[in-house]
Every structure is written in C-alpha cells, then in structure tokens.
Amino acid sequence: MIDHREPAEIIDWLKEEGLDVVKTQLTVGDYIVSNDVVVERKSGNDLTSSIMDNRLFEQINRLYEAASSPILILEDFDSIFKNTSMNPASIFGVLVYLAFRFSLPMIPSRDWRDTALILKRLVLRVQVKDEDPILARSVPKLMTLDERRAFILEGMYNVGPKTAVKLIDAFKTPLGVFQALASTSVVYTRTGNPKGLEGPLANIKGIGVKFVLENRKLIEQGNE
C-alpha cells in the first residue's frame, strides 16, 4: 500500500516490476509492505523541516505504534545539507538519536529509482516466509506517566524539562503543583522589593519570585 502523495514514478515503476500496488491514503508512513514493515521516506529538506518543527519524532513514534519493523529511507541524502541552514551536527544528532534510541534502520538512497529498488527488495524479502526477523526490538514507550505529567507543566512560563521534573517530583501531579502555586506567596522587604517566597514552593530550587508572579496569572481566575 502506497500513500497517494508519493511520487508517480515510484508507483509506476513498482507496477511495471509486477508488484501488487494499492494507492491509498495512509495515516502513518508512506509505504506499507506488510503488517510488520512500514516505510517512511524522507527526501531533501523533508528531513530538516520536520526536525525543526518537532514533527519527525511524532512520526517515528507513530511508525513504531503501527509496526514492529519500521524503516526510514533517506533519499538524496547529500542534498539534505545543501538547501538548509541547519547545522550538520544537528542533522547527525537526529540520526544518531534515532539509531541509538530506536535502533531504527535507515537506508540511504540516491534518487527515486534507488528508493523504488529498495521497496521492491523489501517486498521480496518479506515474502520469504521462513526468514523472520532475528530480533524484534521493543522500543521504550514515548512517555511514562510522570513524563507526561511533567510535559503538561512545560506549558507554564519559564518551565522547561528540568523544572517540570523537579515540580512533579515534589508535588506528584499537575494538580498538586497548581495547588502549591496557589498557596505560595511572595514576601517583600519593607521598601517594597521582592525578597523571597513563603509556602510550598519556597524550598524548591530554581523557583523564584518571577516564577510565582508570572504563573499565578495562568492559574488564577484573572483575565488579561
């Protein structure tokens, strides 16, 4: 099954080679070879742009939810560096991440012709029934419960990964954090300068006056 937005050349070539091709709309991946094998094809600045807007990791995760053996084809790999202002370190950082964290097989191809060839070989390989994959790798879940709890908190002002985890560690749930924030108040000096905090958040490192003042507006009833 091939997503209908894929290049016509590839589809036509595979048909000419005698493969059963079904053109359809896919919600995950670009090519479905079997129940186990789904292929995502990234060409040129497809890759870089999907890195920059954080879309790539979502796509890869959905690949692994849909199939046990996803494969990524990197088409026209060299051109990836040409039409982008992205740092090569960032690009390889992504590839290393995918290799290390997901053990994701990535196959480079020079053009659509190579890509078609890869797809054909994949189909033939999959059809050889007695050759099952030696290792079906189980990939760790995208987010644990606590990670998702922390993830919610990253919507607040000046809260990134570190602070979010720190807050969840201390108050267990987002609701707990919000309640703690509501019952923390800012202490001022006699001259009216903010001095520090009083309440549940007072003892949390990295949380200060600015944090409380800014985020209270999010949590409490006020309008803008």
Partner DNA sequence: CTGTAATCTTTATGA
Partner DNA sequence: TCATAAAGATTACAG
Q: Is 98 in contact with 104 (CB distance < 8 Å)?
A: yes
> Parallel, antiparallel, or unpaired for β 71-75 and 106-109?
parallel
Among its own copies, DNA, none, residue 173 binds (CB under 5-8 Å by kind): its own copies
Nearer to DNA, 24 or 206 (CB): 206
Q: Is 48 in contact with 80 (CB distance < 8 Å)?
A: yes
Distance of CA 208 to the CA centre of its chain: 31
Nearer to its own copies, 111 or 188 (CB): 111
Q: Tell me the CA distances in angstroms from 26 to 3, 62, 105, one per residue in order.
A: 5, 12, 21
Core vs surface per residue 167-180: b (16+ CB within 10 A) or e: bbeebeebeebbeb
**Binding to its own copies (CB under 8 A): which residues in 82-141?**
88-89, 92-93, 95-110, 114, 117-118, 121-122, 125-126, 131-139
Residue 94 token pair: 């992504």
Cα(65)–Cα(142) distance, rounded to whole angstroms?
A: 10
Binding mask 150-179 for its own copies (x = CB under 8 A): xxxxxxxx--xx--xx------xxxx--xx
Among its own copies, DNA, none, residue 99 binds (CB under 5-8 Å by kind): its own copies
Cα(68)–Cα(23) distance, rounded to whole angstroms?
A: 22
Among DNA, its own copies, none, residue 1 binds (CB under 5-8 Å by kind): none
Contact between 210 and its own copies (CB under 8 A)?
Answer: no
Residues that bind DNA (CB under 7 A): 51-52, 54, 85-87, 89-90, 93-94, 96-97, 121, 124-125, 132, 135-136, 138-139, 141, 154, 157-164, 189-191, 193, 195-196, 204-212
**Binding to its own copies (CB under 8 A): which residues in 42-61?**
54, 57
Nearer to DNA, 24 or 214 (CB): 214
